[in-house]
Amino acid sequence: MTDAKVIPFGDDARRRGGGGTGAGSGARRSRGRERKAGAPAPGQKAENGPQPPLAAVPEGGAGIPAQADGSPPTGAGQGSADGSADGADDGAATSSAGPSAAGADGPGESLSAAFGAVADRLLGGPWERKVAQGLSFLRRRVTGDYDVDEFGFDADLTDQVLLSLLRPLYEGYFRVEVKGIENIPAEGGALVVSNHSGTLPIDALMTQVAVHDHHPAGRHLRLLAADLVFVLPVVNELARKAGHTLACAEDAQLLLERGEVVGVMPEGFKGLGKPFSERYKLQRFGRGGFVATALKTKVPIVPCSVVGAEEIYPMVGNSRTLARVFGFPYFPLTPTFPWLGPLGLLPLPTKWTIQFGEPIPTESYPPEAADDPMLVFNLTDQVRETIQHTLYELLVERRSVFF
């Protein structure tokens, strides 16, 4: 009688290096149990003599046989007698699952994710939302569904276009740090008084972005600009659209009575065009007309100090002849302009800090206080000294002009 083929169990199986464990091996054994005892496996000739029956599988044992003494299994499950066929089945199952898993994170979705990340970076937010906002903005412009006040202020255009053009300069180039934004009231009028410097009025634009982007109410700063701004061809239209108006008491009072946040830089061209050797030294604040306007409208005065703008165009000289020719209050000479031509107009990437101080209340003064020259002078001097003192403090805290 031919020797019967014995399937090892328990420790014998482990010594022979039994293959699969867990559910995979149990599945193969389950398929083996479906065949009748002694029946040949597919593709295998029957052998002489009866085959020994498979050991009983205890309920809940996941197809793992018990050991000879009935104790629970202590090792890996053993291989099946039809291991080659089962291996082929397992390979086919893996092959069929492979393309599906790869397709879930294929090149198409990876490229889409990369495109979305780049678009979010360029647009400053989730690109789907930005595109939807852009399409909605175009629809409003085409249909005329937007408002412009009597000063020419177009809030929709300012929010969607003008401020968006300034933000890369504000966030990435000058890296503006804002302090004390909570000192600007959430509603009602307020007069923001700031120092002025930098040869070109970039500090006014950066302050406008700071108020709108950092204030919880997203308020707009309505700047009072000099006459020169409103005689330049393109600048005139852009200034009106952005909410700027002529620096006169009538316009300022009307805006404050309407509850707007108004910005004024009393140094004017004296501060903007001062030489680099006098940086961060405030010039005269005029006769205090802004204080009289605040007293008439009972709005708080918020001192504002800007550090970093003085160094963007170091003004080492002033060509008065060229200034008269072009009709400018001054013609700056810097280390790069006009020697490098248009390239000299590129500002230096200084690090900025804008701090809004504690508001100075005016509602407690009587109505005739605006006509008291001594009171107006004292309040003007108080605002100027507050801004100057804050500038010195910020300069002491600053580690570097550029970092």
Show the domain range for 210: 155-312+347-397
| Dist. CA 318–CA 139, nearest whole Å | 48
Q: Is residue 382 part of a domain?
A: yes
Q: Which residue has the tokens 């083996």?
A: 32
Catalogue the long-range contacts made by 148-157 (C-beta closer than 8 Å, 24 or more residues apart): 151/222, 151/240, 151/243, 151/245, 151/251, 151/255, 152/240, 152/241, 153/220, 153/222, 153/240, 153/241, 153/242, 153/243, 154/241, 155/220, 155/243, 157/241
Question: Is the CB of residue 220 less than 8 Å from the CB of residue 155?
Answer: yes
> Measured between alpha carbons, how far is residue 122 from residues 79, 131, 157, 176 in Å?
58, 12, 20, 19
d(CA 76, CA 54): 17
- Rounded to two decimals, the pTM is 0.69
Residue 374 lies in a domain: yes
Question: For the segment 203-232, what is each residue's pLDDT rounded down to a tens digit?
Answer: 999 999 999 999 999 999 999 999 999 999
The structural domain count of the chain equals 1
The CATH number that applies at residue 352 is 3.40.1130.10
pLDDT digits 0-9 by tens, 242-257: 999 999 999 999 999 9
Residue 148 lies in a domain: no
Residue 14 included in any domain: no
For residues 381 and 323, the answer to whether their CB atoms sit within 8 Å is no
What whole-number distance in Å separates Cα of residue 144 and Cα of residue 155?
A: 13
Compute and round to an integer the Cα radius of gyration of the chain.
40
Percentage of residues of the chain with pLDDT beyond 90: 63
135 part of a folded domain: no
Q: Decide if pLDDT at 26 tops 80.
A: no
Asked if residue 122 has pLDDT above 80, the reply is no
Q: Is residue 280 part of a domain?
A: yes
Give SS3 for 264.
strand
